[in-house]
Structure 1
Amino acid sequence: MEEAMTTNVRDQVIAIIAEQAVLDVSQVSPEMSLEDLGIDSLGLVESIFAIEEAFDISVPFNANEPQKNEFDISSVSAIIRAVENLVAERA
């Protein structure tokens, strides 16, 4: 069951990020950064809101101070890990 949840989180996060980047999910890989994908600060905030809504979680992210956040946005895989952790904490 845990494996299915992890795959589901990964796929959903990638789909949300791909939508913000106006890319196909096949063009988004875990090692890419949001900058690589052309996602600006507004796209980042919209991605965070979409992630919160999709997983019914609260992401500890302050758009005014993105470098001081607990939520790691350094890469797609970092975002996936952070979301998995938040989902696990909620469960």
Structure 2
Amino acid sequence: MDIRNRVIAILAEQALLDPSDVHEDMTLKDLGIDSLGVVESIFAIEEAFDISVPFNANEPLKSDFDISSVGAIVAAVERLVAERAA
């Protein structure tokens, strides 16, 4: 499974949705994921990809991890995975 599909599967599981209902232009709010769900999703992403996500739940807007949309999260995870592999 590629990074995009794994991230979408993690977010879909958190939102109790089918992955086919999750689209890259959706926000976490669109998915019904609250702040606790965001933290749980970040932990699941870190575990799934063996990466450390630079996200501060207390100051999410100051984090170096864009959670503005599903597509932004996918892009950020792809970047972190690439950096880890380099």
TM-score range, shorter chain: over 0.9
The C-alpha deviation readout for 1:30-82, integer Å capped at 9, x for no partner, is 00000000000000000000000000000000000011111000000000000
Alignment of 1:24 onto 2:47: no
Structure 2 equivalent of residue 68 of structure 1: 62
The C-alpha deviation readout for 1:5-50, integer Å capped at 9, x for no partner, is xx70000000000000000001100000000000000000000000
Pick one of 8, 11, 20 that aligns with 2:2.
8
Identical pairs, percent: 74
CA distance in 1, matches of 2:15, 2:59: 22
Unaligned runs of 5+ in 2: none
Pick one of 34, 39, 45 that aligns with 1:45.
39
CA distance in 2, matches of 1:90, 1:66: 22
TM-score normalised by L of structure 2:
0.97
Unaligned runs of 5+ in 1: 1-6
- Name the Cα RMSD after superposition: 0.8
Give SS of 1:17's match. Answer: helix
